[in-house]
Structure 1
Amino acid sequence: MTKLSVNINKVATIRNARGGNNPDVLQVALDCEAFGAQGITVHPRPDERHIRYQDVRDIRPRITTELNIEGNPIDKYIELVLEVKPTQVTLVPDTENQITSNHGYDTKQCKAFLTDVVGKFKEAGIRTSIFVDPDAEMVALAKECGTDRVELYTEPYASGYVENREEAIKPFVEAAVAARELGLGLNAGHDLSLVNLHYFHQHIPWVDEVSIGHALICDALYMGLHETIKKYLEALK
């Protein structure tokens, strides 16, 4: 079964635009769980322009499903993860002012660094995942870093889906097969939507988790959060 983890960053973006606590990020996380989501994803950035570090502290003890904290493992981020001890930490090579994630880790160039960081989190009993491009070599080197899972960066699949979905999915299937053969768990995320999710899942049904935020929150503006989560879960059947 592939789990749906809802990324609630965009909810925090709306809240932060006006100050105060509307919408209530914690309540949205709880509602997502109540509506069937099997996990919550947050991606705190150093400037806290959407999810704030305090949001993570508030959410962790209240949710009953899995919490996945994504981010660039700078010192402040590492301290937060070790403090709240989520179910999973996903290491993403964001720069400080980056609008959104746009590539995976070069696990060859960053192997020593990632091995050290993964070791810290695994010692604390936290499942680790490394964000990678759909490249079998990057997947294999992630395995050597000691990670439990890799998360495939799916924006290239999403952008190529409309023009030629058969070609767009190929490198992801190859990377997913490599991960499975190496005994790695497999996650996927970035620009997955109701348009392209079912096809992705048909070809890689062994994916453990998809993390979806932007498209899901946009869909919820029209369909409501409950109905939207229901449709994403149906796409994963």
Structure 2
Amino acid sequence: MSGTKTAHLRLGVNIDHVATIRNARGGEHPDPVRAALAAAAVGADGITAHLREDRRHIRDEDIDRLMKEIGLPLNLEMAATEEMLEIALRHRPHACCIVPERREEVTTEGGLDAAGQREKLAPIIRRLGDAGIRVSLFINPDVRQLEAARALGAPVVELHTGAYCDRTGLEQAEELARITKAARDGVELGLEVHAGHGLSFGNVKPVAALPQIAELNIGHFLIGEAIFIGLGPAIRQMRALMDEARAGVHAA
């Protein structure tokens, strides 16, 4: 099963930082829902939005509108709290990705410790699953965390690619090897494997080429690149790089 190949590598576009720009000044512009619709128009397979405890970017009304106005699956990133659980159960998005969250962090700094938080996570995962919501755990590429995800009943994991993206040379190659092994291990355990955090035009292809990975979630880079070339062209270029990488896998 470790050689299983996913034909189409899905692209989930994270629109959080459109909301970050909006919130820097207040008001309603730029509209993250408009960004989601634009992403859908150029081939995104899904939309990701992280509703943080402090509402620093995405707000509750954004989730309301995303559920009503977009035709793509919504992946709601959320902390493992009762407040976020109730919001997820009220909206019932396609998927919820449980992520670690610290109020003082600038961005998510690492993967969820699923292995060390089983008692806290188990009832949340169970209630989301009972509501028909597909649960994903955002974890570091580590077999202990993969095994915990399986034991908890989460059908999907998203591998944190931040360490890979932050390094160069031999260190980056070592991080890619960790991701490669984790992707294989995840599939062997019966999990669907996604990946994301920090991916860009320059580093996406080695990750996209991993045949066990079904989906990449990319946001900050695409929104930043949109300032220079537009959101549509940025997503199209990312999509093309992903497709090139996956085509190379099938040609091999």
Shared topology, TM-score over 0.5?
Answer: yes
Q: 1:64: how far off?
A: 0.9
2:186 pairs with 179, 184, 188, which one?
Answer: 179
The CA RMSD measured in Å over matched residues stands at 1.2
Whole-angstrom CA distance in 2 between matches of 1:187 and 1:230: 20
1:225 pairs with 216, 226, 231, which one?
Answer: 231
1:83 pairs with 84, 90, 96, which one?
Answer: 90
Whole-angstrom CA distance in 2 between matches of 1:17 and 1:128: 31
Q: Does 1:48 align with 2:55?
A: yes
Whether contact under 8 Å (2:50, 2:78) holds in the other structure is yes
Whole-angstrom CA distance in 2 between matches of 1:152 and 1:31: 26
Whether contact under 8 Å (1:132, 1:153) holds in the other structure is yes
Whole-angstrom CA distance in 2 between matches of 1:11 and 1:162: 32
Aligned to 1:12: 19
Q: How does 1:87-166 map to 2 (within 5 A)?
A: 87-162=94-169, 164-166=171-173
- Could you say if the C-alpha distance between residues 125 and 160 of structure 1 is closer, same or farther in structure 2, counting changes exceeding 3 Å? same
Aligned to 2:208: 201
Q: 1:96: how far off?
A: 2.6
Whole-angstrom CA distance in 1 between matches of 2:228 and 2:179: 30
Whether contact under 8 Å (2:184, 2:212) holds in the other structure is no
Whether contact under 8 Å (1:45, 1:71) holds in the other structure is yes
Q: 1:128: how far off?
A: 0.4
Whole-angstrom CA distance in 1 between matches of 2:242 and 2:22: 29
Whole-angstrom CA distance in 2 between matches of 1:224 and 1:163: 33
Whether contact under 8 Å (2:183, 2:193) holds in the other structure is yes
Q: 1:164: how far off?
A: 4.6
Q: 1:147: how far off?
A: 0.0
Ranges of 4+ aligned residues in structure 1 off by more than 6 Å: none
Q: Which amino acid aligns with 1:57?
A: D
Q: 1:62: how far off?
A: 1.1
Q: What's the secondary structure of 2:37's corresponding residue?
A: helix
> Unpaired runs of 5+ in structure 2?
1-7, 244-252
User: How many residue pairs align between the two structures?
Assistant: 236
Whole-angstrom CA distance in 1 between matches of 2:32 and 2:113: 33
Whether contact under 8 Å (1:112, 1:145) holds in the other structure is no
> Unpaired runs of 5+ in structure 1?
none
Q: Does 1:189 align with 2:196?
A: yes
Q: 1:223: how far off?
A: 1.2
Whether contact under 8 Å (1:105, 1:130) holds in the other structure is yes
Q: 1:165: how far off?
A: 3.9
Whether contact under 8 Å (1:44, 1:51) holds in the other structure is yes
Q: What's the secondary structure of 1:236's corresponding residue?
A: helix
Whether contact under 8 Å (2:80, 2:121) holds in the other structure is no
Q: 1:24: how far off?
A: 1.5
Whole-angstrom CA distance in 1 between matches of 2:175 and 2:111: 17
Whole-angstrom CA distance in 2 between matches of 1:170 and 1:225: 31
Whole-angstrom CA distance in 1 between matches of 2:14 and 2:88: 17
Identity within the alignment, %: 36
- Could you say if the C-alpha distance between residues 62 and 162 of structure 1 is closer, same or farther in structure 2, counting changes exceeding 3 Å? farther
Aligned to 1:3: 10
Whether contact under 8 Å (1:161, 1:168) holds in the other structure is no
